[in-house]
Amino acid sequence: MDATLHPESSQSDLLATPDSNKIDLAKEEVVLRRKAYPLAIDDIDSSDDRKEGSSGRIQLQRPLSSHIPTTPAVGVPLRRDERYCFDDGNVILLVYDTFFKVHRSRLCVDDSVFTTLFCLPQEVGSAAEGVSWHRPIRLPEKPRRFANLLWALYALPAELKNVADDSANCLRLVDIAMAAQKYGFHTTENWAVDRLKKVVKSAENVDGVVNPWRIFSVASACQSDELRQIMIERIIEQANHRRLAWSWLVTIGEALQITELMGEGYYHIVIRDHTRWNEDGKLTEAQVAKLYIGFCRLVTYKDILFGSPLLPITHHNCLMGPDVCRARWELMWRQAMDLCGLPSVHIIGYLSAVLKYIRHNHTFQGPCRNAWIATLVAKIDELKPSNRLHEFFKPQ
């Protein structure tokens, strides 16, 4: 293990014949730990996170490619990182165009990929990698991201504890989470993801924190359903408060196949007057076509659903008798429908209006009223984006 990194190791150790099985197993482990995320955002620089559109609203920028070159282009000068080149460091790494000279012990914590990497035998006849500036260990990573990972690995407990949960640290936390997951620093990964949850929860404007592609990329790579759900809920909340355009939800929802965002985005656009569906010009022709498809399906569904009152869930403690209960329910239904005044396809709006009417009408009490409320709540839940709503807009 030490022979691969220390120049004082014996020549016989450096030229030892590698164990092919050991190398194959180690390479397999590295590949598994560095599994690629299909929508990786490694090539997006921090300057590309947010771009202002003509309206002043932040526009979503899509990721380009997950490929990061190991060697810089011809003519790009190499430099040494100002912070992480220690005099007593015992391993030298070249990350694109930046040298890092750090302590191997720091890179081997948490049974990381580097623990396996440093155990790999060297090729016969070649000098050891990582012991000189002329033969560093090359990592296909962004210098900024690797430097942020090193910050987390070298930080004191008090420094980690005092990291503010605000947008200023969001990009650093994203870098730490992605790099920690990539190289197998599980404790550091979990710490960064937990911090990101707090950042997203407390952010006043989620599109002003960091590009949401990054947050969803972290959630997927680190397999954090909680972070994903928190981000979805905050985006929908911001759209409801008109801080985000519904067309923005459609775009990111389709790109990342997030049904909650697709359903909410399409639904809130289609319930407008059709002349305003693409008033901001952000929807593609295919997306506008889906709106027409969804409109027709919602109209058909509404005609069936509201053609006769929803039958309440069966209840055994009816105080009025089945016939009287049904008659009262139909009367209540018609009164509520007459008061709605909502767009023809606003099914959830209609159901919510009826539910509100019943809850605020104290003429009826007891099991019958509770059964009516339960019926409406169940139907609204059935149409929630995560369950059903986005399906109205699927092409045939």
Query: Which pLDDT score is estimated for 5?
Result: 34
Which residue in 224, 271, 266, 274 sits closest to 245, CA to CA?
Answer: 266
Give the pLDDT confidence score for residue 21 in this predicted structure.
47
Query: For 194-250, how does the pLDDT look when each residue is reduced to its tens digit (9 = 90+)?
Result: 999 998 988 877 776 667 888 999 999 999 999 999 999 999 998 988 888 899 999
CB 171 within 8 A of CB 203: no
What was the pLDDT predicted at 25? Answer: 43
Q: How far, in Å, CA of 265 to CA of 256, rounded? A: 14
- Give the pLDDT confidence score for residue 328 in this predicted structure: 77
Residue 371 to residue 366: CA distance in whole angstroms: 9
At 17-69, the pLDDT tens digits run 334 443 344 434 434 443 433 333 333 344 444 333 333 333 444 443 445 66
What's the pLDDT tens digit per position in 290-320?
999 999 999 888 888 777 767 665 556 666 6
Cα distance between residue 223 and residue 136, in whole Å: 32
Task: Classify 351 as helix, strand or coil.
Answer: helix
pLDDT of residue 218: 95
Mean pLDDT within 75-99: 93
Tell me the C-alpha distance between 353 and 70, whole Å.
59
Collapse the DSSP code of 57 into the 3-class scheme (helix H, G, I; strand E, B; otherwise coil) and give the result.
Answer: coil
Q: What average pLDDT score do residues 316-342 get?
A: 73
Give the E-state strand segments of 103-219 in sequence order: 137-139
pLDDT in tens, 134-148: 999 999 999 999 999
Q: What is the pLDDT of residue 332?
A: 76
**174, 214 contact by CB (below 8 A):** yes
pLDDT band (50, 70, 90) for residue 107: very high
Residue 365 has what pLDDT?
66
Distances (CA, A) of 237 to 176, 257, 265: 27, 19, 12
Domain ranges across the chain: 1-33+69-140, 42-62+141-244, 283-396
pLDDT given at position 106: 95
Task: Flag whether pLDDT at 8 surpasses 60.
Answer: no
- Helices 367-382 & 347-360, crossing angle to 10 degrees? 160
For the cut 60, the answer to whether the pLDDT of residue 339 exceeds it is yes
Please report which confidence band the pLDDT of residue 6 belongs to, taking 50, 70 and 90 as the band edges.
very low
- For 144-164, what is the mean pLDDT? 92
The percentage of the chain sitting over the pLDDT mark of 90, rounded to a whole number, equals 36
Q: Are 59 and 53 in contact (CB under 8 A)?
A: yes
pLDDT of 395 over the 80 cut: yes
At residue 266, the pLDDT reads: 94
Task: Find the range with the poorest average confidence among 86-95, 276-285, 288-297.
Answer: 276-285
Length of the chain equals: 396
**pLDDT of amino acid 156:** 92
Residue 128 or 314, more confident = 128
Neighbours of 225 (CB within 10 A): 9
Quote the tokens at residue 179: 């790099």
Q: How confident is the model at residue 327 (pLDDT cuts 50, 70, 90)?
A: confident
